[in-house]
Amino acid sequence: MAATPRDDLRDRERAHLFEALPGQHLGALWRVYANALTPEPVKREVPHRWAWKDLRPLLYEAARLVPTEEAERRVLMLLNPGLGGEAAITPTLYAGMQIILPGEIARSHRHTPNAIRFIVEGEGAFTAVNGERTVMKPGDFVTTPTWVWHDHGNESDQAVVWLDGLDLPLVATLSSVFYQKYPDIQQPVSRPIGDSSRRYARGFSPARVPLPRHYSPIVNYPYVEAREALATMAESDHPDDYDGYLLQYINPLTGGPVLPTMAAYLQWIPPHSTLKEHQHTSAAVYLGVEGRGVITIDGQAYAWEPHDVIVVPSWCRHQHQNPGDEPAILFSFTDDPVIRALALYREAD
């Protein structure tokens, strides 16, 4: 049909309307509707692998060149290639590799983002949380919940490296980042080493002592114990279709995830196995611990070795494989508690 003068008039009036909107900070929903409400998640973040053999030399070079007095935390951040340089590995999660040399101190501070650590190499550095120091060994899992004072120090004779995981991008999106420096460089030690584990990690909990229950009171979950639990499962249980043998680090006060926003797992993929592919709306950051394996994400294979990090964004199809003769052990942390709390968890195979 030919355009009538009336159509022409309407087109000109529409053009005027659209020009007037941005100046008033207004937008026409109908022009972007299909971008905003998509049949399935549309993401900027992408799957990625950070190989330890490439990351390690850069981390030790940072340690040689930048003292901890200058860097509050000496960390190389793992930046998702799709997120334009934001301090984020997914839109909710942050990950970084931190290194602390003999004699160094990472000063005491607290912040509302929750943090977890998984020790990658070196032994004998400590993290202090609310007056309790824990000396960390490779494979140990350490929690630093929201708003607790924490600092790190290394009184050993070797460099110590760990993976940091924080919910910083989520907390920033929620406009809820608060941060404070402790008045001194280190917080005073007010409890003996092992205090929290002796109270809470053995099936007991002090009665009639009011406690925050939304995060785990346990500071350190030792690798020897987590590995033993996994080996016990692998000896007698049937493996899970998707995850092999999957152990969750739990908050003993609830049986749920260690932190309100992040869950953490240690996983055992049996030798010579190809597990089933699936997808879900929680995102995961994997760290190779023992053996080697492959995670195929949206059709692309990412082989991993110990200390490689792989990010599997939300709703990416992914599948684990262990072609080798030894069990393949992976650590991971996810935003699963957030997704479930908001009733947004979906899974498909």
Q: Least Å distance between CB 288 and ligand GTQ?
A: 19
Determine if 75 is a binding residue for ligand GTQ (CB under 6 A).
yes
Query: Which residues does 77 contact at the CB level (< 8 Å), separation at least 6?
Result: 87, 94, 95, 96
What would the two tokens of residue 111 be? Answer: 């912040």
Cβ atoms of residues 132 and 83 within 8 Å: no
Determine if 308 is a binding residue for ligand GTQ (CB under 6 A).
no
Nearer CB in complex with ligand GTQ: 142/295 = 142
User: Which of 98, 156, 196, 216 lies at the binding interface for ligand GTQ (CB under 6 A)?
Assistant: 98
Distance (Å, rounded) from C-alpha 139 to C-alpha 121?
Answer: 8
Using CB under 6 A as the binding criterion, the count of chain residues that bind ligand GTQ stands at: 9
* Residue 144, H or E segment: strand 141-144
Nearer CB in complex with ligand GTQ: 163/330 = 163
Determine if 336 is a binding residue for ligand GTQ (CB under 6 A).
no
What would the two tokens of residue 187 be? Answer: 């917080």
| 320: nearest Cα among 241, 218, 212 | 241
Q: Least Å distance between CB 114 and ligand GTQ?
A: 11
What would the two tokens of residue 142 be? Answer: 């350490």
Distance (Å, rounded) from C-alpha 43 to C-alpha 201?
Answer: 39
Q: Least Å distance between CB 127 and ligand GTQ?
A: 8
Determine if 164 is a binding residue for ligand GTQ (CB under 6 A).
yes
* Residue 128, H or E segment: strand 125-129
Q: Least Å distance between CB 111 and ligand GTQ?
A: 6
Q: Least Å distance between CB 134 and ligand GTQ?
A: 13
Nearer CB in complex with ligand GTQ: 96/122 = 96
Q: Please, what sign has the CA dihedral across residues 320, 324, 326, 329?
A: negative
CA distances from 72 to 67, 91, 217, 316 (A): 9, 24, 25, 35
Q: Least Å distance between CB 329 and ligand GTQ?
A: 23
Nearer CB in complex with ligand GTQ: 115/294 = 115
Is residue 251 exposed (0-12), middle (13-18) or buried (19+ Cβ within 10 Å)? buried
Distance (Å, rounded) from C-alpha 204 to C-alpha 320?
Answer: 36
Amino acid at 118: F
Which residues within the stretch 110-129 sit at the binding site for ligand GTQ (CB under 6 A)?
A: 111, 115
Determine if 73 is a binding residue for ligand GTQ (CB under 6 A).
yes
Nearer CB in complex with ligand GTQ: 73/278 = 73
Cβ atoms of residues 144 and 104 within 8 Å: no
Determine if 153 is a binding residue for ligand GTQ (CB under 6 A).
no
Q: Least Å distance between CB 186 and ligand GTQ?
A: 13
Give the x-and-dash track for 215-234 against ligand GTQ (CB under 6 A): --------------------
Determine if 243 is a binding residue for ligand GTQ (CB under 6 A).
no
Determine if 100 is a binding residue for ligand GTQ (CB under 6 A).
no
What would the two tokens of residue 39 be? Answer: 């049949």
Which residues within the stretch 254-293 sit at the binding site for ligand GTQ (CB under 6 A)?
A: none
Nearer CB in complex with ligand GTQ: 98/279 = 98
**Would you give the DSSP letter of residue 121?**
E
Determine if 317 is a binding residue for ligand GTQ (CB under 6 A).
no
* 3-class secondary-structure state, position 96: strand
Determine if 160 is a binding residue for ligand GTQ (CB under 6 A).
no
Nearer CB in complex with ligand GTQ: 150/318 = 150
Determine if 108 is a binding residue for ligand GTQ (CB under 6 A).
no
Cβ atoms of residues 327 and 271 within 8 Å: yes
Residues forming the site for ligand GTQ (CB under 6 A): 73, 75, 96, 98, 111, 115, 150, 164, 166
